[in-house]
């Protein structure tokens, strides 16, 4: 079934090598072969390097196996006709593109989809601000030059809401009290100049820039650098959008594909996946988080379906529209339900170590508050590590292996608690009124087959079945390493 509105349309997609971008590319190629042109922006030294990167980092993924089966020997000619890979960078003016390419894009583009982002929670502040905030401004400036642009679709995150509690509405970020982006950039540059003046090493600069990002984020009420810089990116878009048709998609925790092109495809380890990997490989014996809290998860293909539905329903509208794409409002998944499925899966299907011995898992200790997590780490790890460090030094490092192993486990748990506390001690519900209206509108204007292809209704997800038979097996297949 073809999605009619994408027929004969030209689309620019930034961040084309990213996880969600791959799912978008695959979807369009698979369901709408009559798209006019897909322009894909990747960071690379030149066009040949960009094409090589696209072929190796995107098209060779198993995600595209259905596309390869569908087109067969015709795939190469189809890709040459429909796909144009561009070497560029959203942190540069005009996306770092050559003048000749710019003129073509300004003339032909119907849609711009901004998926370029750095999603590390504790990314260097200079990098995160440059990509997530200044990059968004650059994409907006570029979009304003596109003569027949019908929409700029910007993918953000639901967690731009700071650490507020209760019901989080689908409202725009117009201003952030006390935050001046130019001032933030100046603070970064001052710190970098001081570090360079003292000939600081690359690792030291990285550490300082990471700490700076977390400090600035927490000062203004965000849990990490990622959500803070994404919020500033939204602020820039809202402040300078003028008459540009703008839609902002705010997904929650994005997980593996539910159905399309097949169940369970994923890439990388994000948020709750860190706990699954840690528990399944034996590095995590506890679960920080309130068991009654809600883990707001949404499969990647549903996020992409929401993106395409919003493109279809809201072209040419100059108002700014925001959609939460998540599950906490319509089909909440309690943390204890997710935890129990993780335990059950690895009890029934244990992970095997390099020496082919199974990792035996036991029901983890639940740490329902941040205080409980800190006390647990202190008693189980940090006090023994301090004692063992003294003994190890006195015995000429005889206990080095035990000491290092315990330190690694402690640091792993500490990182999980620090970075993911806002998500596992979850007190928010993301309102999805706008998304529900979008779902209803899509159902009214589409046939049954197209509704299935573009389904993003979280009420259709059975969490027990999805976790046991789709998400965790997919994570084991694509992300676990022996």
How many whole angstroms separate alpha carbon 75 and alpha carbon 89? 27
Pair 148, 104: CB distance under 8 Å? no
Burial 61-95 (b: 16+ CB within 10 A, else e): eebbeebeeebeeebeeebeebbbbbbbbbbeebb
pLDDT value at residue 454? 85
Helices 272-280, 400-424: axis angle to 10 degrees equals 150
How many whole angstroms separate alpha carbon 121 and alpha carbon 147? 36
pLDDT value at residue 4? 83
Query: Which residues, at least 6 apart from 384, have a Cβ–Cβ distance to it below 8 Å?
Result: 406
Q: Write the class of the CATH domain 4-263+296-331+428-462.
A: alpha beta
* Active centre residues (catalytic): 226, 230
Query: Which residues, at least 6 apart from 107, have a Cβ–Cβ distance to it below 8 Å?
Result: 147, 148
Q: Domain map of the chain by residue range?
A: 4-263+296-331+428-462
pLDDT value at residue 423? 78
DSSP letter (8 states) at residue 293: S
C-alpha pair distances (Å), 62 with each of 218, 261, 302: 39, 10, 19
pLDDT value at residue 21? 97
| pLDDT tens for each residue of the chain, 482 residues long | 347 889 999 999 999 999 999 999 999 999 999 999 999 999 999 999 999 999 999 999 999 999 999 999 999 999 999 999 999 999 999 999 999 899 999 999 999 999 999 998 889 999 999 999 999 999 999 999 999 999 999 999 999 988 667 899 999 998 999 999 999 999 999 999 999 999 999 999 999 999 999 999 999 999 899 999 999 999 999 999 999 999 999 999 999 999 999 999 999 888 889 889 989 998 888 888 888 889 999 999 999 999 999 998 888 888 889 999 999 999 999 999 999 999 999 999 999 988 889 999 988 888 888 888 888 888 888 888 888 888 888 887 887 888 888 888 788 777 777 777 777 777 789 999 999 999 998 887 766 666 778 899 999 999 999 999 999 999 999 998 76
DSSP letter (8 states) at residue 223: S
What are 429's strand-pairing partners? 167
Tell me the helices (H) and strands (E) count for the chain, helix number first.
20, 13
The encoded tokens of residue 370 equal 């941040």
How many whole angstroms separate alpha carbon 305 and alpha carbon 321? 16
pLDDT value at residue 13? 98
Pair 123, 212: CB distance under 8 Å? no
pLDDT value at residue 292? 87
pLDDT value at residue 228? 96
């Amino acid at each position: 079934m073809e999605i009619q509105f994408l027929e004969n349309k030209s689309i620019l997609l930034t961040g084309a090598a990213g996880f969600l971008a791959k799912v978008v590319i695959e979807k369009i190629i698979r369901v709408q072969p009559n798209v006019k042109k897909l322009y894909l922006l990747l960071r690379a030294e030149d066009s040949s390097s960009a094409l090589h990167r696209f072929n190796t980092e995107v098209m060779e993924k198993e995600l595209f196996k259905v596309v390869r089966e569908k087109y067969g020997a015709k795939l190469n000619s189809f890709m040459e006709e429909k796909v144009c890979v561009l070497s560029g960078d959203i942190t540069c003016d005009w996306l770092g593109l050559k003048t000749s390419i710019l003129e073509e894009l300004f003339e032909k583009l119907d849609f711009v989809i901004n998926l370029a982002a750095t999603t590390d929670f504790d990314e260097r502040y200079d990098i995160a601000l440059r990509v997530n905030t200044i990059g968004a401004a650059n994409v907006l400036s570029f979009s304003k030059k596109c003569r027949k642009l019908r929409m700029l679709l910007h993918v953000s995150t639901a967690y731009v809401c700071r650490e507020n509690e209760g019901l989080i509405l689908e409202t725009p970020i117009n201003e952030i009290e006390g935050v001046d982006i130019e001032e933030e950039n100046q603070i970064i540059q001052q710190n970098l100049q001081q570090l360079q003046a003292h000939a600081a090493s690359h690792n030291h600069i990285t550490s300082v820039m990471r700490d700076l990002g977390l400090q600035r984020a927490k000062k203004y009420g965000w849990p990490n650098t990622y959500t803070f810089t994404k919020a500033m990116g939204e602020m820039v878009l809202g402040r300078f959008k003028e008459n540009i048709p703008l839609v902002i998609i705010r997904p929650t925790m994005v997980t593996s594909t539910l159905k399309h092109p097949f169940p369970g495809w994923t890439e990388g380890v994000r948020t709750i996946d860190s706990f699954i990997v840690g528990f399944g490989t034996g590095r995590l014996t506890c679960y920080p988080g309130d068991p009654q809290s809600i883990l707001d998860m949404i499969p990647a293909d549903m996020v992409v379906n929401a993106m395409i539905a919003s493109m279809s329903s809201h072209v040419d509208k100059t108002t700014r529209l925001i959609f939460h794409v998540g599950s906490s409002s319509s089909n909440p998944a309690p943390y204890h339900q997710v935890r129990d499925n993780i335990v059950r899966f690895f009890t029934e299907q244990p992970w095997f170590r390099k020496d082919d011995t199974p990792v035996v898992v036991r029901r983890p200790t639940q740490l329902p508050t941040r205080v409980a997590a800190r006390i647990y780490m202190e008693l189980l790890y940090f006090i023994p590590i301090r004692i063992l460090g003294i003994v190890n030094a006195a015995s000429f490092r005889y206990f080095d292996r035990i000491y290092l192993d315990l330190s690694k486990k402690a640091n792993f748990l500490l990182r999980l608690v620090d970075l993911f506390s806002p998500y596992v001690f979850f007190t928010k519900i993301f309102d999805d009124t706008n998304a529900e209206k979008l779902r209803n509108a899509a159902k009214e204007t589409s046939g049954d087959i197209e509704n299935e292809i573009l389904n993003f209704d979280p009420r259709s997800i059975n969490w027990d079945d999805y976790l046991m038979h789709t998400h965790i097996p997919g994570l084991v297949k694509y992300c676990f390493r022996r």
